[in-house]
């Protein structure tokens, strides 16, 4: 049996993820290749292309914050579309469906991935916040699961 996937769903879900990954990739590229090339330009005495450290640092700082913004925006759009698609597939009759149970898990994974990706480039230790997110989302998950079972049982 073959599963037919609607290409609109793929586009709606894949595009924001690609954007988030691009943002992280761009920052890493800047940090590794652009800074490296700048040092190379300086060592070769090519001052026409060399960028002074304050300017380069300004670029990296701005790129880092843009990276935060884009990852957050991309993942938010991804999750919003996921919820919309699942709601569409479930039908509108159910007021409390599977998507409400899965939501806390996805949000925990999203936030912890976010913290994991930026663990090396943020000045603060994000581990404690990550643990807090996992605990809060687990509690939310159990609450949602119980509610879901009740809704299903009682109709």
Partner 1 sequence: MVLQPVFSYGWPIVFGVFALSGFILGWSAQRGNYCFVNAMTSVFTVRSYERFGALLLLFGLSALGAGLLVGLGVIPASDQYYFNYFGGWYILVGSVIFGFGAALAGGCNLSMLYRAASGYVQNWIELFGMMIGTYIFAVGIWPFQLYTMEKGILSTTSGGYVEYLPYLIFHNVSDAGVLATTMLYSIPLIGLGIYLQARTKKKWKLMSTGNVSKGMMPSSPKVKALGRPAVPSPSTIKRMDLKGEAKDLLLLKKPYGTNLTTVILALDMLLVFIVGAGYTFNYLVITSSDGGRFFEYILFLFGQHLFLTTPWFNDSLPIVDTSTLMVVMLCVGAFFSSYLSGDFKIRIPREKKRLAIGFIGGILVGIGVRMALGCNVGLMWTNFAQIGYDGIIFIFGMLGGVYLAVKVQERL
| String of contacts with partner 1 for each residue 12-31, x by CB under 8 A | ---xx--x------x--xx-
Among 65, 96, 116, 143, binds partner 1 (CB under 8 A): 65
Among 6, 25, 40, 76, binds partner 1 (CB under 8 A): 40
Q: Name which of 28 and 136 has its Cβ closer to partner 1.
A: 28
CB 111 within 8 Å of CB 128: no
Q: Report d(CA 132, CA 120) in Å as an integer.
A: 19
Q: Is 50 in the site for partner 1 (CB under 8 A)?
A: yes
CB under 8 Å, gap of 24 or more: what pairs does 119-122 form?
121/27, 121/31, 121/64
Among 13, 41, 102, 109, binds partner 1 (CB under 8 A): 41
Among 25, 58, 88, 132, binds partner 1 (CB under 8 A): 58
CA triple 55-57-61, angle to 5 deg: 120
Q: Encoding tokens for residue 13?
A: 């879900």
Q: Report d(CA 59, CA 38) in Å as an integer.
A: 13
Q: What are the residues binding partner 1 (CB under 8 A)?
A: 11, 15-16, 19, 26, 29-30, 33-34, 37-38, 40-41, 44, 46, 48-51, 54-59, 61-63, 65-66, 70, 73, 77
């Amino acid at each position: 049996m073959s599963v037919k996937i609607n290409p609109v769903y793929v586009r709606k879900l894949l595009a924001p993820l690609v954007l988030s990954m691009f943002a992280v990739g761009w920052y890493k590229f800047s940090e590794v290749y652009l800074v490296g090339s700048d040092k190379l330009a300086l060592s070769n005495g090519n001052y026409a292309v060399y960028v002074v450290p304050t300017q380069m640092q300004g670029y990296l700082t701005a790129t880092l914050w843009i990276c935060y913004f884009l990852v957050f925006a991309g993942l938010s759009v991804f999750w919003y579309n996921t919820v919309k698609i699942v709601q569409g597939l479930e039908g509108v009759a159910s007021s409390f469906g599977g998507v409400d149970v899965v939501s806390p898990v996805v949000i925990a994974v999203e936030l912890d991935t976010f913290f994991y990706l930026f663990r090396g480039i943020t000045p603060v230790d994000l581990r404690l916040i990550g643990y807090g997110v996992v605990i809060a989302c687990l509690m939310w998950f159990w609450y949602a699961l119980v509610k879901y079972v009740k809704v299903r049982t009682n109709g």
